[in-house]
Amino acid sequence: MDRLVGRNHGVLFRLTVANPEHLAMLKESVEAFNQWRTNNAEAKLGFREPLLSHADLSGADLNGAILKKAILIGANLNRASLYKAKLNEANLSGADLQSANLTNAHLIGTKLHNADLRSTKLTRADLGGAILKGANLAGADLSKSTLVDTNLEGANLTSCSVYGISAWNINLKDATQSNLVITPGGESKIQVDNLEVAQFIYLLLNNPKIRDVIDTITSKVVLILGRFTPERKEVLDAIRDQLRHKDYLPVLFDFEKPTSKNLTGTILTLANMARFIIADLTDPSSLPYELGRVVPGTRVPVQTIVLEGQREFAMFADLKEDYRWVLEPYRYTTMQTLLTELDQSVIAPAEAKAKELTHK
């Protein structure tokens, strides 16, 4: 229901107020409510602090709805569309928001304790001051969202897309932050393990002056190069997990996309800030070309690995002969063998070479 409230520079403006009929219809049948919305696309939805705890609103069309201070504790909003919805100071603790669309939604000060936000679309959402303690955001799209004073204590951020986020003064105590994707959709994935590191690395890739400032800082970054086919990705993920436990900051690069000048430039930047590089030469696709471009322009140890029974690419012997930071390949028979011998046969030689290069 709209109410005329006055004029502003001669333009009549309206204030959306609560309509009990809308709320009753929503509670009665989501299907009927969505049909009504389809037939009344211009209607404004205004709910004044509605009590919808544990309500089943799965798939509801709540685009643009004003739900400020709404009580939606434990509500089922699975697959609901909340595009541009205003949920400021609402309480959605324990709510199921799996695969919901919250693009451009306003969630300032919203309570989302233990909410299920897996695969939720939160692009350009404003989460300033929102409380997401214990929330599950695995696979959520947070691209270009605002996270200022946001509480993510104990939250699960695994595999979130975080390209273009604005993150300031966020609480990440005990949060799971692995496999955060810092590149936009359509580009080769670059994954890191911390929101602050995500912004930092993206800044490094796009701001040469920042890179100059940190040239003297000892890095814990390890660049992992390889292919993202199912078989190879399993190996790369296992290496990354091992490196995490050893206090490194692994950055995994996907070589499934076609090579390009921009791609090579990105790899060069990451390579030059890395402690060392681990490159999987098994079924390498475009990796030989990229190593041919990267190795001459860096003085960073390159430790290659290859599955027993496969040979290095044709030009690898030349790279190893011409550039002393390219190390002898480590050949492994199984992934378990690789992980068991990772310290001795992969990390230790790379670290020794890094120290040698630094000393010289």
Q: How many CA atoms lie within 13 A of 32 on its CB side?
A: 9
Encode pLDDT of 256-279 as tens digits.
554 444 667 778 888 888 899 999
Q: Which two tokens stand for residue 35?
A: 């049909």
152: left (phi over 0), alpha (psi -120 to 50) or beta: alpha
Return the pLDDT at 256: 56
Return the pLDDT at 93: 95
204 phi, psi to nearest 5 deg: -60, -40
Return the pLDDT at 49: 61
Which residue's structure tokens are 């790279």? 319
Q: Which candidate, 124, 128, 157, 158, places its Cα nearest to that of 143?
A: 124
The dihedral sign for the CA sequence 189, 192, 193, 199 = negative
**CB-neighbour burial class of residue 184 (10 A; exposed 0-12, middle 13-18, buried 19+):** exposed
Q: How confident is the model at residue 8 (pLDDT cuts 50, 70, 90)?
A: very low
Domains of the chain, residue spans: 1-177, 198-359
Continuous segment of H or E residues that includes residue 239: helix 230-245
60 with 78: CB under 8 angstroms? no
Q: How confident is the model at residue 27 (pLDDT cuts 50, 70, 90)?
A: confident
Q: How confident is the model at residue 12 (pLDDT cuts 50, 70, 90)?
A: very low
Under CATH, which number does the domain 198-359 receive? Answer: 3.40.50.360
Return the pLDDT at 3: 33
51: left (phi over 0), alpha (psi -120 to 50) or beta: beta
Average pLDDT in the chain: 85
Q: Which two tokens stand for residue 117?
A: 């936000």
Q: Does the pLDDT value for residue 121 go beyond 50?
A: yes
Q: Does 2.160.20 match the CATH number of domain 1-177?
A: yes
Please state the rounded mean pLDDT for residues 109-137. Answer: 95
Strands 190-192 and 180-181: antiparallel
Question: DSSP for 167-217?
Answer: EES-B-TT-B-TTEE-SPTTS--EEES-HHHHHHHHHHHH-HHHHHHTTTS
64 with 47: CB under 8 angstroms? no
Q: Which of 36-45, 50-59, 139-148, 233-242 has the lowest mean pLDDT?
A: 36-45
Return the pLDDT at 338: 95
Looking at residue 344, the DSSP 8-state letter turns out to be: I
Q: Does the pLDDT value for residue 47 go beyond 70?
A: yes
Encode pLDDT of 276-332 as tens digits.
999 999 987 778 888 888 899 889 999 999 999 888 887 888 899 999 999 999 999
Encode pLDDT of 124-151 as tens digits.
999 999 999 999 999 999 999 999 999 9
